[in-house]
Structures are given as C-alpha cells and as structure tokens.
Amino acid sequence: MERGYVETRDLHKHFGEVRAVDGVNLSVREGELLVLLGPSGCGKTTLMRMIAGLETPTAGEIFIAGERMDADVPPRARGIAMVFQSYALYPHKTAFRNISFPLEAMGQPPRVLRERVHSGARMFGIERLLDRFPRQLSGGERQRVALARAVVRDPKVFLFDEPLSNLDAQLRAIARYELKEFQRQIGTTTIYVTHDQVEAMGLGDRIAVMEKGRVRQVGSPREVYDYPADTFVATFLGSPPMNLVEHDEETLIGFRPEHLLPRDVFDPREDVVIYHLRVRQVEHLGADRLVYGSLEEERRSDQPVIAGLPVTITMPVVEGQVYEFAVPRRAIRSFDRRTGLARGRGDGQAGSGP
C-alpha cells in the first residue's frame, strides 16, 4: 500500500454507543486536496478533529508526514492549521493580530512576524483590512483572514471544516475557485470536510465519501461519480441522484438522469437499453428539463425515475404519456440488491481497507 502523507489506520471514535468513526483507513497523498464528503452526522468532522488532535481516538493510529500522532501529541505539535466553519476569528483582535497570533505563539520575532503577516495578507488581498476587527469585516473577508491565519505558520497539512458554508451562494462559487487556486499554488496537503457534493466535485483531487462512520469510497470526482462503489455513493452524489431500478431478485441497476434520454436522440447504431417511461411531471429548470416518471416494463415498478434532458433536446414531453427512452449500455451500473455494493468493474474502490 502506498504510504500516505496523512494516514489513518483502523481509526475509531465512539461516543458511548454511537460509533461516530468506525474503522477508517484513509491515505492522503502529499500535496493533494482530499475532500471528506458525507451527510451530516457521518463522522467526517470527528475524523478531521482526531487528525487535528482536538479529539482523542477510541482506537487506531494517525500518521502525519510519517510520524505517529499519539493522543499525547498536542495539536500545536502536529504541523497542522485549521480553518473552522465559523472562521473562529478572535473578536477582540484586529485582523493583523489574528493572523499573527500563531506566529506569536511560536515565539517569532516582531520583524519576521510583520513580514509574514503582510505576505499572508497579500496572498488573499486583505492588506488594507489588517487594522479592522472581525466585526467590521464581511463574511468573505473574514474567511480570507482565517485562511491567512492558517497559511502564515507554514503547516504541513491544512484542515478545512466547511469553510465556505457561511458564505452566500454567489460568493461561494468564487471562493471555491480561489481556494482551489491557492491550494494548487502552495501545494500543501489539504483535507477538506463538506456535505456539499458540488463543492466536493469542484474542489477535490480525490473525494472520500463517508456514511455512518465509514469511508464508502475514495476516488477522483469522476470515479466516484461514474463508478460509485455502492448505492449510497450512487444516490448521495449527483443532483438529481442516480436512478436505481430493480432488475431481478438480486440486482439493482443504476443510471444517471442525464443518461436517460429519448430513444431518438441516440445514434441507431449505439448500444442502448430501451425503457418505456410514463411521464408524471415535467420541471423546466432553464438549462435542462427534469422529467419525472416511472418505467413501464414487464417488471413494473412505481419507483420514480428521473430523466434530465438538456435544453438542446427540444422534443415535446407531455405529462401522462408514455415515451420510448433509452440509456447507453456503457452508462448502466449494477448493484447487489442485498449489500448495495457495485458489481462489474470489480475495483469498486472500497477506499477503506489496505
């Protein structure tokens, strides 16, 4: 197994009966941005807090840059910097003093301190805000101050705990782009926690999808999207999620809404699977149309199925009618009905496990 820059081995954290983190083996490569993605309560934040040293593992090991982080290695000795969801700026200190605080704690002389604060501030374009108090800053500016505070100590690993969730939607897209730019520029290994799949897909070099304290899959955004390791990953990623339809007693088949298109759209030579779709409802969302319906095959099911038609397909779709739709065979995934695990392409990338 490749040796990760940050590694967890069979890491557990139990709160009484609750297994918040339940045996996680994770390997983060040097310089990459790994996103921990999962619904709230899946253990992603607890996992990050254990890596930071803010939480003591119930069992298991953590390695950062090859060094074992025992429970008695305090956060300050781990070479990490963390950006919190609320930014956690010190409200009684100016932006300058906020950014310089970790350097003061390291005992840096004032000259070095000033230099590094200014170069950190320059990196995020907040030099003119250094005299302000957090309450005098906008959400986006606070986030930059928090990032600058994380950068100045030159950490081995960045830990980001949903740092964009407090920004409004418009700002978030820009901030996401800038964050990615910045991480690529300085190339510091980064672990990023979010429940937002768009953020995860956009930011991550790799994504680790978590559920119920376990890592379900680790892979590049394309891998986890195109080849989900199980039905949880299949339905958690993608909006609307992957359609799952019963195939037989043992198999579920899955296909993404954007692959379920009217039969006529496909080249007649293309290998497709044809489904008859009874349309129940149509939503016009601007860039595409969402068609809600159910499949009318010999195995009728009332499970709703969603087709995502791009605006380029102008064919009229009337509610209540049955249409011939198709899915390219290469886009069809199959899952074990009982375990939910993916079949075929055997490398389901069950990220956990050596």
Partner 1 sequence: MTQDAAGTPRPVGGERVALKEAESVVVAAPAIFRRRTLADREDALGRLLLAPALLYVVLLVGVPFGMAVLLSFSAARSGTLTFPWVGLQNFWTIAADPQFRLALRNTTLFTVVSQVLVMVLATAAANVLEAAFFGRRGVRMLLLLPWAVPVSLAAMAWTWIFDSTFSVVNWTLRAVGLLKGWLYWFGDPTLAMIAIITVHVWRMFPFATVIVLAGMSAIPAEIREAAVVDGASFWRRLFQINLPLLLPVVTVAVLFGVVFTSTDLSVVYLLTRGGPYNSTHVLASLAFQRGILGADLGQGAAIALFLLPVLVVVAILMLRVARRAEVGG
Closest by CA to 200, choosing from 42, 7, 6, is: 42
Segment lying near partner 1 (by CB under 8 A), choices 68-76, 210-218, 221-229, 254-262: 68-76
Query: According to the binding rule CB under 8 A, does residue 92 interact with partner 1?
Result: yes
CA 170 to chain centroid, in Å, comes to 19
Q: Please report, as residue ranges, which positions from 27 to 66 form the binding site for partner 1 (by CB under 8 A).
A: 52-54
- Give least dist CB 93 to partner 1, A: 8
Nearer of residues 60 and 75 to partner 1, judged by Cβ: 75
Within 10 Å of residue 331's Cβ, how many Cβ atoms?
15
Task: Give the CA dihedral 335, 341, 345, 346, nearest 10 degrees.
Answer: -140
From the list 5, 101, 275, 335, which residue makes contact with partner 1 (rule: CB under 8 A)? 101
Nearer of residues 80 and 252 to partner 1, judged by Cβ: 80
- Give least dist CB 323 to partner 1, A: 52
How many residues comprise the chain? 354
Q: Give the Cα separation of 349 and 34 in Å (integer).
A: 15
Q: Give the Cα separation of 3 and 7 in Å (integer).
A: 8
Q: Please report, as residue ranges, which positions from 262 to 291 form the binding site for partner 1 (by CB under 8 A).
A: none
Nearer of residues 63 and 84 to partner 1, judged by Cβ: 84
- Give least dist CB 154 to partner 1, A: 12
**Residue 160 tokens, joined:** 């980001």
Contact between residue 11 and residue 50 where contact means Cβ atoms under 8 Å apart: yes
From the list 4, 134, 204, 219, which residue makes contact with partner 1 (rule: CB under 8 A)? 134
- Eight-class DSSP state of 230: B
Query: According to the binding rule CB under 8 A, does residue 106 interact with partner 1?
Result: yes
From the list 74, 110, 187, 344, which residue makes contact with partner 1 (rule: CB under 8 A)? 74
Query: According to the binding rule CB under 8 A, does residue 26 interact with partner 1?
Result: no
Query: According to the binding rule CB under 8 A, does residue 193 interact with partner 1?
Result: no
From the list 85, 166, 235, 251, which residue makes contact with partner 1 (rule: CB under 8 A)? 85
DSSP letter string, 258-274: GG-EEGGGS-TTS-EEE
Nearer of residues 108 and 197 to partner 1, judged by Cβ: 108
Total number of residues that touch partner 1 (CB under 8 A): 27
From the list 73, 114, 127, 133, which residue makes contact with partner 1 (rule: CB under 8 A)? 133
DSSP letter string, 236-304: HSTTTTPEEEE-SSSEEEEE-GGG-EEGGGS-TTS-EEEEEEEEEEEEE-SSEEEEEEEE-SSS-----
- Give least dist CB 161 to partner 1, A: 9
Phi-psi region of 213 (alpha: psi -120 to 50; beta: other; left: phi over 0): left
Query: According to the binding rule CB under 8 A, does residue 138 interact with partner 1?
Result: no
Nearer of residues 139 and 240 to partner 1, judged by Cβ: 139
- Give least dist CB 191 to partner 1, A: 13
**Consecutive H or E run containing 183:** helix 169-186
**Residue 221 tokens, joined:** 């955004």
Contact between residue 120 and residue 151 where contact means Cβ atoms under 8 Å apart: yes
From the list 144, 149, 172, 256, which residue makes contact with partner 1 (rule: CB under 8 A)? 149
- Which parts of this chain interact with partner 1 (CB under 8 A)? 52-54, 74-76, 80-82, 84-86, 88-92, 101-102, 104-106, 133-135, 149, 153
